[in-house]
Structure 1
Amino acid sequence: MKMLLTPSHLFAKLLLLLVITTYISPAILSTADAQHTWNTSYEKEERPLFTTHFSPGEFAERRNQVYSEIGSNAFAIIQGAPMPMGFQIFRQNNEFYYLSGIVSPHAYMILDGESQKATVYLQDRIERREYGEGKVLSYQDAELVMELSGIDDVKHISQLQADLEEYNIGQFTSVYTHLSPYENLGVTRSIANRTLGDRENDPFDNRPGRHQEFIKHLESLTSNLEMQNLDPITDELRKIKSPAEIELITISTKLHGEAIMESMRSTKVGILPQEMEAIARYIYWKNGVDGEGYYALTHVGPDAYMNHYHSSKRAARDGDMILMDYGPVYNYYTSDMGRMWPANGTFNPVQRELYTFYLEFYEAILNNIEIGLTPQQIMSNALAQFQPVFDQMTFSKDIYKKAADEFIDSYRQRLDNPRMGLGHGVGLAVHDVGDYSVPVEPGMVFVIEPQFRVPEENIYVRLEDMIVVTEDGVEVITDFVPRDIEGIEALMREEGMLQKIDIKLD
């Protein structure tokens, strides 16, 4: 017998539904419950307002090291990134993020060497924008900002000028700030300087860099103080990565490796660079990357001879070699790796000959990286290990032997320089800051990337691997991506993503 629902019964059921949808966690809602509401997700946003990958204490320790370096008679000021023009997602510059973790546009931070306190200056909330685009930490969130980040004080940006003028007439003798252009997504210090150099050659565009404009304002407000460069201090701090930083770099590297391996599997004669890059982008964005660390270096055939060539449209021909070097940024940290493989899946005799020569030398370098050794010592040991192998090698052409001799001789000549390097650092930037000509020590993350050329035939050979140094020793974290001939050919025999899903317009 069916029970008739009275108005009181209906009210009770509605009240129960209201209680469920208001107070019960969505995680415990059943499938049946999900049929009675528009959404089972209730929070307007689920993205965190502050990074979950670093503790406030880690940022505080970085600031403490800055205090120690600048001394009690100085303060440092760091300028954050502006809101980008166009439909671009805001991303904090590396310099500001490294010392605060705060991702708000047009922010400034003062690190007071005497009080050892950090003050962040933020703009007002733009309510209309937050209504349509989501929350951004602002001055109105001062208490929340201090709670999340561990920053000592938050002030309105309008107070910054007055505070700087007060510092100028106080007991301080120096002001530190970054004198180099700021890094950001896909922007290293060197590439930023290149852009500024190009701008200087434009007679109708004499804009300085944002850092230069800021320095000019800062000089006028702190004329009694000596301006000092903060870059050398933070560069050396950034050179030594924490376990949390290494974890993010490792994730970025794993994604990078998966993208290269999937591109190898998918390679058939006729593949286009854009197809391999599409594979990489799918893997990257599916796993939540911020974006690209640099534009894709996907080279087919002689494209590779121009080692930073990009946007190639060349289809791979039977007998071409492919080089891919294209890394993501994962929660502000990037990776750098390069691999080469034959378009048809099998190394021909010439490819095998030159690649084997290069790989033997390359592996000798990797095998001799040890904690406590300088790059000069590592290279000296690598050359000593490689020389007996090289003496037994034969080459099918005189130009190959000549190129090989010149390649090895160039490294012997570098041994005359005690400040020689092996490659470059990797971290917040793909060409990370810091001096890597010093002895290898725990916390370093760097790559090697020797470049071998045969100019007469536009032949270029390059591999690149990520080396992480911890207290436990040296680890090549890209070893899971094959670089030996047999491993590459075996991987290329597997079915790839493009063979499973190949969507093209007619």
Structure 2
Amino acid sequence: MFASPTAKTGRALAVAVALALAPPIGMSTAVQAQPVFRDVFPPEEYAGRREQLFKAIGDGVAIIEGTTERPGEQPFRQANQFFYLTGVAEPRAIAVFDGRSRETSFFLLERKDSDVLSKYGPGALYPEPGAAEKLGVTRVLPRPEFAKLLATFARDGRTIYTPFRPEVLGSASSADPRTLARLNHDDPWDGRPSREEAFRLHIMAAAPRSEIRDLDPAIDRMRAIKSAREIALLREATRLTDRGILRAMHAARPGLTEYQLQAESEYEFKRGGAYGAAYFALVATGQNSWYTHYHYNTATLKAGDLVQYDYAPDYKGYTSDVTRIFPANGKFTAHQREYYTIYLRLYQALMTSIRVHETPAAITERAVAKMDAIVAGYAFTDPAIKTAVLAFVDSFRGKKGGWLGHAVGVEVHDVYGDYTTLEPGMVFTIEPMLRLPGEHVAVRLEDMLLITATGYENLSASVPVEIDEVERFMARPLPAALR
């Protein structure tokens, strides 16, 4: 089912790189302006999501609010749960999904001429004729009208679902605002609730007879399995990621700073239409590679350093997450070859152990058997490397649960819902780290894997991982498509 990872040729690498560099159909290679996406998917994509939501809430009502305007000169980006369900990129929007009538209502801020003239221009959505038809929903009303509809649900004591988790905006994942909300709440000099908690308290006060339930689990289960249109966006986000990493890899040389490598990727991201970064750039040279989320990005590359590079864009509300290792001066030392090669073989053993419909525990059990055989046959010359490798393999031994890495979608650490096995349509990464304590360095690779009906597809396979291929790419002229 899976091709041998060591059977690549120079020609295969050239083809893979060419595919990664080629613009998608219909896209010019010219630099594009900052995009604002209000029509990521057609109305039927959101109609399908509403049908799933109605099945989940039964006779209940789901109510969710969008994020606020941004303070200062910041680009607006909708909260992820709201955007996933609605595709509406307007501040302070409220969406209501009535499971009994199967009606969907949006409540939006009314048009302000000053906003149109100074900020938004054409394209914004308002509670005006044609808005409901454009969205494919029952009605679009002014925001103050929401209270009237809520009152009808309150009179009947209808069960109301609303998100309990704090909203997630760009460059964040669900655990991040949840942790921040807890810290703010526990801070004796702060103590504020999250917007979601405040919204829930208002609903409870307006509908005291209604049971208030958490909407997040229903949305999370939907988000875990990506649709064909979502996969297309994740594929494009990863294509841009690959281009950015290739450009940084080729530009690397002693004397450059980590942030200068970051700039190489950001050029590619923006050129391809990315909204921004999926997360802060993790560009770690030398001993900085020890830290999993190092992001100071101010160190200078030195001859003999390896660079660990982990950076991806936010493309139309979807993300990617890919990591590669390359030498600052274009050549691995003999010592680096020894520990990078054994790590790569163990990483590939884990990757090629993945099977659809299986639990992570079953997959890691299969992988450990492969790893043991690889380690037993490897020609170690440095006992410290062998000790670190044995500890690495032991970290997978006997694992009874947990995931191999993390899901990726509208968030870089996306949600899994309540799934316990890998199912078609899931997209996730694996990113095990091998640390060498005596040298205070580490190596970590990461790939975007799409689970299919027969196995998986590596969406980021075009960026080289084999030592000889990395060195050849860094030594050759920059491909024309990246200039």
TM-score by length of 2: 0.89
- In structure 2, C-alpha distance between the alignment counterparts of 1:49 and 1:387, rounded to whole Å: 49
Q: Is it true that 1:244 corresponds to 2:229 in the alignment?
A: yes
- In structure 2, C-alpha distance between the alignment counterparts of 1:263 and 1:47, rounded to whole Å: 23
- In the other structure, the counterpart of 2:404 is 422
362-371 vs 422-431, which deviates more?
362-371
Q: Which amino acid aligns with 1:413?
A: G
SS in 2 for 1:333: coil
**Which residue among 450, 459, 463 is the counterpart of 2:432?**
450
- In the other structure, the counterpart of 2:124 is 137
- In structure 2, C-alpha distance between the alignment counterparts of 1:469 and 1:149, rounded to whole Å: 31
- Give 1:218 shift: 1.6
Q: Which amino acid aligns with 2:46?
A: F
Q: Deviations over 1:93-138 (max 9, x none)?
A: 1111111111111000111010011100011111111012213534
- In the other structure, the counterpart of 2:50 is 63
- In the other structure, the counterpart of 1:95 is 81
- In structure 1, C-alpha distance between the alignment counterparts of 2:276 and 2:435, rounded to whole Å: 31
386-395 vs 121-130, which deviates more?
386-395
Q: Highest relative contact order (Cα 8 Å, sep 6+), 1 or 2?
A: 2
- In structure 2, C-alpha distance between the alignment counterparts of 1:247 and 1:225, rounded to whole Å: 40
**Which residue among 282, 291, 298 is the counterpart of 2:276?**
291
- In structure 1, C-alpha distance between the alignment counterparts of 2:330 and 2:100, rounded to whole Å: 63
Q: Is it true that 1:495 corresponds to 2:480 in the alignment?
A: no
* Percent identical residues: 33
- In structure 2, C-alpha distance between the alignment counterparts of 1:395 and 1:218, rounded to whole Å: 64
- In structure 2, C-alpha distance between the alignment counterparts of 1:342 and 1:292, rounded to whole Å: 24
Q: Which amino acid aligns with 2:248?
A: S
- In the other structure, the counterpart of 2:447 is 465
Q: Which amino acid aligns with 1:430?
A: V
- In structure 2, C-alpha distance between the alignment counterparts of 1:47 and 1:192, rounded to whole Å: 25
- In the other structure, the counterpart of 1:386 is 371
SS in 1 for 2:53: helix
- In structure 2, C-alpha distance between the alignment counterparts of 1:275 and 1:49, rounded to whole Å: 28
Contact 1:374 1:437 in 2 (8 A): no
- Give 1:256 shift: 0.3
Q: Is it true that 1:151 corresponds to 2:151 in the alignment?
A: no
- In structure 2, C-alpha distance between the alignment counterparts of 1:364 and 1:47, rounded to whole Å: 40
- Give 1:487 shift: 1.0
- In the other structure, the counterpart of 2:245 is 260
- In structure 2, C-alpha distance between the alignment counterparts of 1:473 and 1:378, rounded to whole Å: 12
- In structure 1, C-alpha distance between the alignment counterparts of 2:124 and 2:270, rounded to whole Å: 25
- In structure 2, C-alpha distance between the alignment counterparts of 1:310 and 1:145, rounded to whole Å: 43
Contact 2:95 2:104 in 1 (8 A): yes
Q: Is it true that 1:276 corresponds to 2:261 in the alignment?
A: yes
- In the other structure, the counterpart of 2:90 is 104
Q: Deviations over 1:401-455 (max 9, x none)?
A: 22211111110031xx1x3311110010000011486222211111000111122
The root-mean-square deviation of aligned C-alpha atoms, in Å, is 2.1
- Give 1:48 shift: 8.3
- In structure 1, C-alpha distance between the alignment counterparts of 2:148 and 2:418, rounded to whole Å: 40
Contact 1:242 1:443 in 2 (8 A): yes
- In the other structure, the counterpart of 1:122 is 108
**Which 5+ residue runs of structure 2 have no aligned equivalent?**
1-33
Q: Deviations over 1:253-292 (max 9, x none)?
A: 0000011011111111112111111111111111111111
SS in 2 for 1:315: coil
- In the other structure, the counterpart of 2:155 is 169
Q: Is it true that 1:340 corresponds to 2:322 in the alignment?
A: no
Q: From the superposition, tell whether residues 433 and 338 of structure 1 become closer, same or farther in structure 2 (CA, over 3 Å).
A: same
SS in 1 for 2:326: strand
- In structure 1, C-alpha distance between the alignment counterparts of 2:37 and 2:340, rounded to whole Å: 48
SS in 1 for 2:46: helix
Q: Which amino acid aligns with 1:470?
A: T
Contact 1:335 1:427 in 2 (8 A): yes
Contact 1:100 1:151 in 2 (8 A): no
Contact 2:35 2:273 in 1 (8 A): no
- In the other structure, the counterpart of 2:200 is 215
Contact 1:420 1:437 in 2 (8 A): no
- In structure 2, C-alpha distance between the alignment counterparts of 1:274 and 1:453, rounded to whole Å: 24
**Which residue among 347, 357, 366 is the counterpart of 2:342?**
357
132-141 vs 269-278, which deviates more?
132-141
- Give 1:353 shift: 0.9
Contact 1:268 1:345 in 2 (8 A): yes
Contact 1:289 1:331 in 2 (8 A): yes
Contact 1:91 1:185 in 2 (8 A): yes
Contact 1:50 1:148 in 2 (8 A): no
- In structure 2, C-alpha distance between the alignment counterparts of 1:285 and 1:322, rounded to whole Å: 23
Q: Which amino acid aligns with 1:274?
A: Y
- In structure 2, C-alpha distance between the alignment counterparts of 1:139 and 1:479, rounded to whole Å: 43
SS in 2 for 1:411: coil
Q: From the superposition, tell whether residues 375 and 436 of structure 1 become closer, same or farther in structure 2 (CA, over 3 Å).
A: farther
- In the other structure, the counterpart of 1:233 is 218
Query: 5 Å matches for 1:366-445?
Result: 366-414=351-399, 417=400, 419-435=401-417, 438-445=420-427
- In structure 1, C-alpha distance between the alignment counterparts of 2:478 and 2:258, rounded to whole Å: 15
- Give 1:206 shift: 2.6
SS in 2 for 1:154: strand
Q: Which amino acid aligns with 2:292?
A: N
- Give 1:475 shift: 0.4
Q: Which amino acid aligns with 1:494?
A: R
- In the other structure, the counterpart of 1:6 is none
- In structure 2, C-alpha distance between the alignment counterparts of 1:435 and 1:82, rounded to whole Å: 26
Q: Which amino acid aligns with 1:192?
A: P
- In structure 2, C-alpha distance between the alignment counterparts of 1:206 and 1:299, rounded to whole Å: 36
- In structure 2, C-alpha distance between the alignment counterparts of 1:450 and 1:408, rounded to whole Å: 10
- In the other structure, the counterpart of 1:322 is 307
- In structure 2, C-alpha distance between the alignment counterparts of 1:135 and 1:391, rounded to whole Å: 65
Contact 1:421 1:437 in 2 (8 A): no
